[in-house]
Structure 1
Amino acid sequence: MPELPEVETVRRGLAPFLVGSRILQVELRRKDLRFPFPDNFAGRLQGRRIVALNRRAKYLQAVLDDEQVLIAHLGMSGSFRMEAGPIGTFKFPRGKIPAHDHVVISLETGQLTYNDPRRFGFMTLATTDTLADHPFFAGLGVEPLSNDFNGETLARLFAGKATSLKAALLDQRNIAGLGNIYVCEALHRAGLSPLRAAGDLGAAAEKLARTVRALLAEAIEAGGSSLRDHRQADGALGYFQHNFRVYDREGQACSSPACRGIIIRRAQNGRSTFYCSSCQS
């Protein structure tokens, strides 16, 4: 599933085309994605101008000129594109099959197509005055790229928690948008074990917060990680997967200087955790 860097990459790629542009027509090639489209979905969008394109956690929020908000989630395999782009040689390249183009939005600036082979993504509508209390957003935690995310915040959120550090970082009620890939990578870079109790973070909280912010910024700059499905808005793939230090590197040597450990994988809360037991404590 696309994580925060992938969704933010898509937002930044789409914003120059979408913000300020009017929606001319909406073609729905299915009656549903993961969920049915709202009643009169196409009609409520047609003629509206997009005034802002925001991101909250892993959701895109297109604010319209009538105070409606188009909410979109990419699910496991969803992608938006405005035009074709270069396709490099990446780990799990994915072609754009026209049969999976489920929503086509014609704008003054061009055509926006939503492609989703697995159809786990979805789109819905809300209003700006109810957005904060919307079921998708009401329980979300702090944004890791916001000024509110720092060591003090982490220490407060994790105080007294016996759950593992990795589970606490993945809990969207604590931090919004972090996923399995970037949590594994951040913990390795910070030298912290994913098995460590979250409540024992102590003085390492500030280092972890800085590491998370730097890692996300680096991943966004690289266009995210193209594993199986992620694609940028111009059709290009991200390349941060080439910078993975632990994720999907089971059995390989640890890349930390002077460390002779081997990356191991273990199941943790139903997900694969990749880490080095030698340099992460």
Structure 2
Amino acid sequence: MKFQKWGARTMVRLAAFPGRRKLSGSEPIRILIDNSVLRHGQTHTNAWIPGETVSSGGGIPVELGHRARVPRNYEEKHKGIYENEVPFFAPLAHLAECGCLEFFTSSELIAERRRQRNYNRFLFGMNLWSKTLIQTLPDLPRPAIGRRSIAPQLFQHYHSKEGPIERLLATADSDFIQIAEKISRKNVLDFYHIWTAKHSNCQIFLTTDHTLKRALASAPKTVQKQLQPVRVLAPSELSEELGLRPVPHHFLTPLDADWFYEMRQAQMIPRK
């Protein structure tokens, strides 16, 4: 068991080594991390591992067993993310631990997580981001009049899609309002995350939301220019630039495990 833990840690260090060498001596890259990346960091869960069946004193069969950490199975619609993006999470987290990367979140991203009622990055057996320092960026300045005007409606339709958009448009600065007028309303919140990254001196907005990447690519050139120099990258794209190697998440099962675990490969759950 100790060898497996050592092997998992060594695998992550070796996968991250090219990036650590490349970024050595330079300022850390500031990254605003999307909730989609944090959510898919939930790579392991707990499962019941059955053992032998014995008879109790009354002759009743009792199945013995134990709970253990196992790789989390993934839905078919997330196949591309778990096969192409998640293998780079552990090396990126290791670079943050080494001080080569700095990860941030924002008040809007935190509010978004709260609206997603089932979201909990510590819910499962292991989240690859659980030990990564993720700092919260200061809020961007917003017009005081806008804040007062929507105060009574702050919690109205809190879990709806329209409520947060209306609140944001009522409080955002005039420059972002110009951007919002040129894009689809459904993309307003995501584009505001990029806007936050720009005004917080973050070079990268890290996401696994490929719909956002397509929306940005098809946005008017004026909007793209206003959001520069922030780059919207997937973990695999950033890792390719840094020379990182992928580590499939089932190899990380023993990582920092202080209880039972079972080495097995995650299975894809087919569409119903």
Instruction: Give the shorter-chain TM-score range.
Output: under 0.3
When normalised by structure 2's length, the TM-score is 0.24
Higher relative contact order (CA 8 A, sep 6+): 2
When normalised by structure 1's length, the TM-score is 0.23
Structure having the larger proportion of residues in helix: 2
